[in-house]
Chains A and B, each alone.
Chain A
Amino acid sequence: MKIDIDAFMDSLPIMGIGLLGIFIVTIVIIAGIYILRALTAGKSESDKSNDEDAAKVSEAADPNAPKESAMDLMEEREKKDFLETDDTLYISKDL
């Protein structure tokens, strides 16, 4: 092992630019999120879930109502397959 002062000094600008770069990118992302939130503030997730609840209620009221399209039927089948899948098959999500 050798101590290389020159290499250390050469790496300092990289450290400075790297740190500055990550702060700049992060600040731009933060600003972007605020703009994004402002632009999409019309319909929050809670509003959306209320809409979904209302849809479920109307569906429950008339369970025999015909499905609107083949896509709806496929979606329903996918959900059924997913619900019937044995979760114990999945070993771990700990990454």
Chain B
Amino acid sequence: MGELLSLFSNVTNLDYKQVIMWAIGGILIYLAIKKKMEPTLLLPIGFGTILVNLPMSGAISQMVGDILQEGPISILFESGIANELFPLLLFVGIGAMIDFGPLLSNPKLMIFGAAAQFGIFFTLSLASLFGFELRDAASIAIIGAADGPTSIFVANYFGTKYIGAIIVAAYSYMALVPIVQPPIIKLLTTKKERKIRMEYTAGNVSKTAKIIFPIFVTILTGLVAPNAVALIGFLMFGNLIRECGVLDSLSETAQSDLANLITLFLGITIAEKMQADAFLNPQTLLILGLGLIAFIFDTAGGVLFAKLINLFSKKKINPMIGAAGISAFPMSARVVHQLGLEEDSSNFLLAHTIGINVSGQIASVIAGGLILNLIAR
């Protein structure tokens, strides 16, 4: 009987905080499966959250007596995220997936990608106001990049202890773009503005231009924000593989096998930072709130910038397209296109919004790079 009881002795090590984390893990799994919210990330994070919050979990490194017992998730974290490797490898896959053609054929729309990063910098100041140390504030602000790998890269670069909450917020809000953006866009625009039609003339983009573009952006960003050169460099390397025309097999591998493999491990590895003691604190709720503010002000920044341009431009633009400048690709482009159709079923904005959305991807990485440069590690 005593032996039987000793078999279950670990139950006495269970803490109520761990049970709360099981519930949080369960919610993430529910959202991933039932609501299809970023399932590729939220499901592994959810399961990993349960895994690392079992009492004396062997999945994470911990001291047993005087001996350090290494756990596989901690090892994966050290070898894939602590050295920023996983987000960079994922960027190769993402770069291979992106077609910069719409951006290259209408480059001036790229300015909206820059405007829609306002939320990042606004949240940086707001997080500082709420008492977060500058490096933590920068890590929280980067949720507004609406770009998972960039968030992971920057948060990890600054070594913030809030990385778990930041990643969960970043991916959750990316999935919530169709819910978060429309009310903000409607609030800031009139019905008349939302009905503005925009002509689309596809410019000729040569293959040479598509090949040189990723190299050019890498050099430029590397000169301005050298700390981010790995981030933009891996993204553009993936794109170069796609566009060069002689590495189709590698491009396919980067888009599918590589991206899937990294994503598979990324989610469960992030769960290392979802341990109850680090996650369950008032700051986590504050970070979730600040992340939402970052998304809202990104959207507002893009829309208001478009309205500002309309004040000086003879040819009016539909201000809604500014909202597509956030990096959540391609959801944001689709959301704005859909809003345009709701107002006028024959107003097709997709050609414009895709170009802006793609530029948002570049702008968010540049914003991350500038933050790395402006704030000391």
Contact = CB atoms under 8 A, between A and B. Distances in A.
- Grouping DSSP codes into helix (H, G, I), strand (E, B) and loop, the B interface class, with mixed when no group exceeds half, is helix
A36 B255 contact: no
B209 A40 contact: yes
Interface string B354-368: 000001001100110
Given A7-B131, A14-B124, A43 B217 contact: no
Given A33-B213, A41-B206, A90 B125 contact: no
B249 to A, nearest CB: 5
B220 A44 contact: no
A32 to B, nearest CB: 5
A29 B130 contact: no
Interface string B251-264: 01001110110010
Interface string A14-57: 11011101110111111011101100111111101000000000
Nearest to B40: A92
B98 to A, nearest CB: 11
A22 to B, nearest CB: 5
B293 interface: no
B111 to A, nearest CB: 6
B130 A17 contact: no
A24 B366 CA distance: 11
B125 A3 contact: no
Nearest to B285: A1
A90 B260 CA distance: 8
A70 interface: no
Interface in A77-95: 78-79, 81-82, 90-95
Nearest to B105: A37
A51 B117 CA distance: 41
A4 interface: yes
Contacts of A34: 107
Given A22-B114, A22-B117, A95-B97, A82 B221 contact: no
Interface string B98-126: 00000110011011011101101110111
A22 B93 contact: no
Contacts of B120: 18
A90 B256 CA distance: 6
Nearest to B359: A26
A11 interface: yes
B124 to A, nearest CB: 6
Contacts of A60: none
Interface string B212-231: 11001100110011000000
Contacts of A48: 206-207
Which has the most chain A C-beta neighbours within 10 Å: B114, B120, B124? B114
A72 interface: no
A31 to B, nearest CB: 9
Contact of A17 (B94, B117, B362, B374): B374
A61 interface: no
Interface of A: 1-5, 7-8, 10-12, 14-15, 17-19, 21-23, 25-30, 32-34, 36-37, 40-46, 48, 78-79, 81-82, 90-95
12 contacts: A11-B129, A11-B134, A14-B375, A15-B125, A19-B118, A27-B111, A32-B217, A36-B216, A37-B203, A92-B39, A92-B40, A95-B97
